[in-house]
Structure 1
Amino acid sequence: MTEAYDLVVVGSGWFGLGAARAYIQSHPSQRIVVLDSSESVGGTWSEKRLYPGLKSNNMLGSYEFPDFPMKEEIYGVKELDHIPGAVLNRYLTDFAKHYGIYERLQFNSTVSLVEPTESGWTLSVTSPSGERKVKTEKLILATGLTSTPNIPSYKGAETFNNPFLHAKDFCRKADELKGIKNAVVVGGAKSAYDVAYAMVESGATVDLIIRPDSNGPVWIAPRKVTPLKHRIDTILNVRALSWFSPCPWGHEDGFGGVRKFLEKTSIGRILVRGFWSIMGNDVLQQNQYENHHELQKLKPWYSVFWIGSGLSILNYNTSFFDMIRDGKVRVHIENIDRLAPGKVVLENGDELVADAMICSTGWKKESTITFKGLDKAGLGLPLDEKEQANLSLEYDTKVLEDFPILENQPILRSKPKKYAEPLRYYRFMVPSGMLTKRNFAFAGMISSVSTAICASTQGLWITAHFDDKLDRQAKSQDEVTHEIMMHTQWGTWRYPCGYGASLPDFVFEGIPYVDMLLKDMGIRNKRKGSFIKELISPYCPQDYDGVLDEYKRKNGIATQ
């Protein structure tokens, strides 16, 4: 029998839970189900993706839902502590149970195909018992950006004969890695450092390989930065500091005049460059890259201004950099030529003994679900390839007119990448051709350092959009196209060393984005107690406690 629902949410990570919670609280009597391909709640933090030592970048207080605090007496995490992966899995499971999501969850259920119908959508869902059809009036895809790994293809891989895996499977294949003496880890992102650290902790020596034609080593910061020693995970949510990041929706914070001065005047741009120079130099000096020849190899190649949400935090129990100084992690800025039995051969001829090889080589930043019966206009803008290319060039000019500081792009070591079209959705959630149908949205197709706040707000915005309760929205296709093009083309210029060319990438842009969504719903976005606090006090999840109840009262929905 075909199952039928009013709403299906696909994915139970931060964004899936945020979306499900908002809709359930607003429609408690509707038929709602959450499908997840995993065996537990959490997405990135699901049980099968955890391994010893894995922690969040964020510290306590910045990585929780607004109205479900991560209390120390319950979860054992202290102030300034990073959150262990197992605690996050427990926290997200508790959240799901508290808000009636868990009872609506179906695990081990993978959605492979989505087809539009006259009344909604039909999903092809595969589970251990076989394939089934699920019908729904409304659909939220919250599969996120870390579902499908990028796995490199190497010559001679079939002869390697030792464990070869992606970091996603590091926990699941832990038994195969026991007793490993020499491991090769590929990648320069934080996940590569995490895997290397865990392998050294288990007794291995690690060769860390970073491609010379990549974006290089990750920017990784101590817990506190700048001469004033602000928490790195909350300083990115200080409203006044967000002014130093040029952004097309930045004016939504109500300080458009200050932003224009910083963006449009030569003096303003000098101040912007000075701010980012202070930020970057402080991190470089604290990390002391120059005091060891191996550490020098991990010094970031590009200004922190250009890197996007890949910025990470040193959250280890002991010093990762000491592991490098002690020779337990050896860094190679080299390409891999081929694999051989138990060896990785570099292009310079060096042969590395490899009892195992773990690739922290990123993710395919796209939905893994196939859509049937939707043409180009269904998921993108209603344009052919030539029209889209011309429009992209037109908006390149507009972006640089509004944000001249972006014109002086960094010279990248990496080869020019041929990206598919960026994810061009209204408010980064709804394809333009589906706006009037009010029955489909993506949640979490953004990369942000403000995950918990964005997940909660996106979820509520989608509910308001589905119910036609937004106070403002684009009124014409031209208006929709202008916003989508301005927002997405800006990304290609703003974060060339991040994800900007393919998807929304937020650092200081997260709180202005939340401002925009809250104003769409007619909910106050300035939530501090005074003007000074509004400018210099970091926005944290607890500042948005009560937003859902405000929305419900405003729209005559009974609060519980």
Structure 2
Amino acid sequence: MKLMVLGAGKSAADVVYEGVKNGKEVHWVIRTTGTGPSFFASARGKGPFKNAFEAAHTRVIASLGPSIFNSENRWTNFLQHSQLGRFLVEQVLAKQDQAIRNEADYHGRDKTKGFDQLEYDTPFFWQNGPGGLIHHDDFWDIISSNVYIHRDQVKSLDKNLARLDGGEELACDALVCGTGWTPSLKFFDNEQLSSLGLPVPLDNEPREVSQLWEKLFHEADREICSRFPMLANPPTHPHQKTGTTTYRLYQGMAPIENSSILFLNHLNTGNKMLAAEAQAIWAVAYFDKQIKLPSKEDMEKSIATWVAFSRRRYLSNGELGNSINFESITYVDALLAEIGLSAHEKEWRKQWFEPFQPSDLGKAWAEYLQKHGHR
């Protein structure tokens, strides 16, 4: 059986791997009009950490990158606002990027099936496209030895045949699209989408509204570039624009003009479960009227800052203004701080070097319920 897999991200990679393991001839097609191949990092842990995910959920690691949610302290100021601090961060990031490329060994393996075409275009720090962790020790050996790689578009499909734009015709018994998904908000009409701060086709937004937000975004972008010089000059990269407006939700959840509804987990983030649970606590506090919200003007500025940061930090991935891929921990800390919760905090050594655990959010829930009389 001949299997074609379309897509560049983790879901496509998993299907490709399982296809080979089950004896299929696999062709992996990555379109040229997207952001290119994904980076795939090892999931193995180092030092005291069981895996890479655990290490990434320490505040010391979370503090390395520029984040609008980082608390201002000597450590983050040193890392982001001094030349020496930025140099050290850039060295750490470059070392990690090189480690990812070295493990894959894109140019040292058999290239007869196109393996070298899997090398990602933009350094992993920028997250211009989807990325993921590799959970199989033999992943790269399996892919390089068995999988045919094509950087091309699928032009047409016929019975047991796929034609690519470049002229290749590939025998194909099954096609799997590992191309992700698009959140559907089609149960709202365009006027409702706009009023709720949700993405709406660009042509459907009133000109005066567009001009207001573009002014806010422009001002916020200048602030982000000044605050985080690392983000001011992104590398050359394949960029994809979106045909809609951005998300315009306070704290990624709350419409400015309607306090009767929240939108949870409409985020691109490295740990959706952690973010969703923290958002749930924030949502309860919001509807309990236990959060002192800023003025409308300050909420607009906060949203504009988030959108500007998302676009600068995550390039194509940040176009919708809702990407905080490496900011899960600092985002959760910011939400809990706004509610006035501190039970999840630990003594300084554990606070900085111990992974953020689900039990920490359990403590935050218990603190909130005790403070506000819930039974």
Q: TM-score, normalised by structure 2?
A: 0.89
Match for 2:143: what amino acid? I
2:216 equivalent to 1:396: no
Calculate percent identity across the aligned residue pairs: 24
Which residue of 2 is the match for residue 31 of structure 1?
none
Question: Which structure 2 residues correspond to residues 351-370 of structure 1 after superposition, within 5 A?
Answer: 351-370=169-188
2:272 equivalent to 1:442: no
2:316 equivalent to 1:492: no
Aligned to 1:466, which of 276, 280, 287? 287
Aligned to 1:535, which of 344, 352, 364? 352
Question: Which structure 2 residues correspond to residues 540-559 of structure 1 after superposition, within 5 A?
Answer: 540-558=357-375
2:28 equivalent to 1:208: yes
Structure (1 or 2) with the greater helix fraction: 2
The offset of 1:265, in angstroms, is 2.1
Which residue of 1 is the match for residue 203 of structure 2?
none
4+ long deviations beyond 4 Å: 225-230, 380-383
| SS of corresponding position for 1:289 | coil
Aligned to 1:427, which of 232, 251, 258? 251
Aligned to 1:222, which of 27, 42, 67? 42
Is 1:309–1:505's contact at 8 Å kept on the other side of the alignment?
no
2:200 equivalent to 1:379: no
Match for 2:372: what amino acid? N
The offset of 1:525, in angstroms, is 6.2
Map Cα deviations across residues 105-162 of structure 1 (whole Å, 9 max, x no partner): xxxxxxxxxxxxxxxxxxxxxxxxxxxxxxxxxxxxxxxxxxxxxxxxxxxxxxxxxx
What is the alpha-carbon distance in structure 1 between the residues aligned to residue 43 and residue 218 of structure 2? 40
Aligned to 2:117, which of 297, 302, 305? 297
Map Cα deviations across residues 198-234 of structure 1 (whole Å, 9 max, x no partner): 3333332111001223222221122226688762112
| SS of corresponding position for 1:224 | coil
Q: Which runs of 5+ in 2 are unaligned?
A: 200-205
The offset of 1:309, in angstroms, is 8.8
Is 1:217–1:301's contact at 8 Å kept on the other side of the alignment?
yes
The offset of 1:517, in angstroms, is 1.0
| SS of corresponding position for 1:274 | helix
Is 2:4–2:26's contact at 8 Å kept on the other side of the alignment?
yes
What is the alpha-carbon distance in structure 2 between the residues aligned to residue 525 and residue 367 of structure 1? 36
Is 1:264–1:403's contact at 8 Å kept on the other side of the alignment?
yes
What is the alpha-carbon distance in structure 2 between the residues aligned to residue 457 and residue 410 of structure 1? 33
Match for 2:27: what amino acid? D
Q: TM-score, normalised by structure 1?
A: 0.61
CA RMSD of aligned residues (A): 2.4
Structure (1 or 2) with the greater strand fraction: 1
2:162 equivalent to 1:344: yes
Q: 1:230 to 1:495 in 2, by over 3 A?
A: farther
Q: Which moved more, 1:533-542 or 1:224-233?
A: 224-233
Is 2:5–2:176's contact at 8 Å kept on the other side of the alignment?
yes
| SS of corresponding position for 1:445 | coil
| SS of corresponding position for 2:236 | coil
2:245 equivalent to 1:406: no
The offset of 1:543, in angstroms, is 2.5
Which residue of 1 is the match for residue 64 of structure 2?
244
Q: 1:540 to 1:296 in 2, by over 3 A?
A: farther
Q: 1:211 to 1:258 in 2, by over 3 A?
A: same
Q: 1:207 to 1:306 in 2, by over 3 A?
A: same
